[in-house]
Amino acid sequence: MTASQIETAKGKIEYSLLGEGKPILFVHGGHVNCRETIFQKGLDPDKFCFITPSRPGYGNTPLTDLNKTPEGTADLFIALLDELKLSKAIVIGVSAGGLTALEIAANYPDRVESLVLMSALTKKFFAETDKFYMGGKKFFAPKMERFTWLLYRLFFKLFPKVMTKIMFKELSKYRPVEFTEEEFKELKQMTLNMRSGYGFDNDLDQTINQRILSRVECPTLILHSENDNAVDNSHPQNAKNNIKGSKLATFNNHWGHLLWLGTDYDPILNELKQQIE
């Protein structure tokens, strides 16, 4: 995936662009950037134009005082749409990108055709006393994350099945731990390019005012796994309870947080297509 950089009214941003047709603005989750394409799985680039910016701190989008909050990132992404001469887009918020997606929908209602939240945060990720918060701050700190991912990739190369099972348990409550060769290949492709930069460290501190959710007026679809072990089910329920007219669809998929892996994705994709096509 080829990436470009552009200077906007709200600062510099890196992004990728693919396809023609109805614009979809992807707000990616943690540890990836604009080069990740798994979120586009099953969608036709002849029908849609996929716009994927790197969130601040990821890839080559700098993290600044202006864009480190979800609100600031929302302003930056709208500035990108301005530069691309796009008046409106479908917004898909993934995992930690959910907070920014909500800010975009609430603050720029005339720019959002519809909103989709996939495995998405709708409030603060973890409390500062939570062991996952403290572990994330330690192992994915900007000065440490390079070595964390180097070690991960080394162990993945040496012990691929063992590392896949470890990651499976981090992402999914589904048991027993089973996966196909195709799922293994998809996971390997995704994780080999992961980096955290300054982005994930910042993600751990991000939050939004909960009144934001009640200001979202566009058609909203919430897609979440009953087995998600990374973003618990209080997040989609929070969106459902506070976004008027929103639809929540939950799934008993094997991979939990990673809705896109395996044949379990087929019914999820059908729900997504009904919302955006």
Confirm if 35 and 24 have CB atoms less than 8 A apart: no
Which residue in 187, 184, 172, 189 sits closest to 228, CA to CA?
172
Which residue in 238, 252, 93, 92 sits closest to 172, CA to CA?
252
Number of independent structural domains in the chain: 1
Which residue in 40, 12, 1, 6 sits closest to 24, CA to CA?
40
- Report pLDDT for 161: 86
Tokens of 111: 């720019």
Q: How far apart are CA 39 and CA 28, in angstroms?
A: 8
Q: How far apart are CA 93 and CA 243, in angstroms?
A: 15
- Report pLDDT for 186: 87
- Report pLDDT for 179: 85
Q: Which helix (H) or strand (E) holds 268?
A: helix 265-276
- Report pLDDT for 189: 85
Q: How far apart are CA 277 and CA 275, in angstroms?
A: 6
Confirm if 40 and 50 have CB atoms less than 8 A apart: yes
Q: How far apart are CA 67 and CA 228, in angstroms?
A: 28
> Would you call 95 a catalytic residue per the annotation?
yes
Global pTM reads 0.97
- Report pLDDT for 203: 98
Which residue in 71, 78, 90 sits closest to 13, CA to CA?
78
Which residues of the chain carry a pLDDT beneath 50? none
**CATH number of the domain enclosing 239:** 3.40.50.1820
Query: For residue 197, what are the domain limits?
Result: 4-276
- Say which of 54, 95, 119, 225 is annotated catalytic: 95
